[in-house]
Amino acid sequence: MDQAERRDIELDCARLINLYATLNDQARWDDVVTLYAPDGLMTRPTAPEQPIVGHEALLAAFQSRPPRTTQHVCANIVVTAETSDTASATSAMLLFTGPDTPPLVGTYRDRFVRLDGVWLFSERRGALSFQPSR
């Protein structure tokens, strides 16, 4: 793969990470799920040992959340193009859920696949960097 293709992959996958955060904050669950491959896997930063797999399970997991206002901030996004159709990334995440609640600080390790010319998450594994105070 040449430098231009590598940059395109990195830009497309970084955009996917940011789009995920935006749609998540807007509670657009159907749209969030379409960012995953059909057999895509997600683990929440608060439940890294509980994988959720496939569109149906992902949608049910998102819809089961109680309504809330959130603001995700993604940073330190580093995408690695592996092949023309696969990539991986790491990123940092800050999740704000209210003025009286400290933000959650975490990381994501992502795997991407290009299906029919569209980049999708094949895996999105979250973890907390610091456990919240109780």
What is the torsional sign of CA 60, 74, 79, 126?
negative
Here the CATH number for the domain that contains residue 41 is 3.10.450.50
| Total tally of structural domains belonging to the chain | 1
* Domain annotation covers residue 134: no
Host domain of residue 106:
3-128
Contact 129, 107 (CB under 8 A): yes
Domain-located, residue 25: yes
Of the listed ranges 1-5, 47-51, 65-69, 119-123, the least confidently predicted one is 65-69
pLDDT confidence band for 133 (50 / 70 / 90): low
What is the mean predicted confidence (pLDDT) over 80-100? Answer: 96
Reported pTM:
0.94
Give the chain's end-to-end CA distance (angstroms, integer).
49
Q: Is 83 contained in some domain?
A: yes
Residue 89 belongs to some domain of the structure: yes
Q: Is residue 112, in this structure, part of any structural domain at all?
A: yes
Q: What is the DSSP letter of 99?
A: T
Query: Is 133 a domain residue?
Result: no
- Mean pLDDT, residues 84-91: 98
